[in-house]
Copies of this chain bind each other. A is one copy, B any other.
Amino acid sequence: MSTPDDTDGPKRVELLQGTLDVLILRTLTHGTEHGQGIARAIERTSGDAFLIDHGSLYPALKRLEKRKWIRAEWGVSANGRRARFYELMPAGRRQVEVQTDRWERLVEAMGRVLRSEPAEG
């Protein structure tokens, strides 16, 4: 049986749908960044566990922009190319807290079930 782990190396782990937004928002708390830079930063800080493909990154950025959690402006990247630079908005900064808290509650609840022992009766 083939799993993503067999082909992508032992460290790689699949992102669950709904988790990319908070990773992007958290990354932007470090400062304004272009799409490629955001993807690289997430990959690096995750210890290369996550591979951020453009097919999920750009729709996520569009979604966050539409909600006014981030805003985009044209700028010039370090290698002289024109690129959209994304900036965290105040509402997006609040979302980092909200979504991190939600994630932590999910982890806690999942942990309770995954460590559960048979109940009596």
A contacts, CB < 8 Å to B = 3, 5, 13-19, 22-23, 26-27, 30-31, 41-42, 44-47, 49-50, 98, 100, 102-103, 105-110, 112-114, 116-119
Contacts and interface: CB of A to CB of B under 8 A. Distances in A.
A45 B102 contact: no
B18 A113 contact: no
Nearest to A106: B13
Nearest to A100: B114
Given A16-B18, A102-B14, A114-B100, A107 B109 contact: no
Contact of A17 (B17, B47, B110): B17
Contacts of A106: 13-16, 19, 49
Contacts of A50: 109, 113
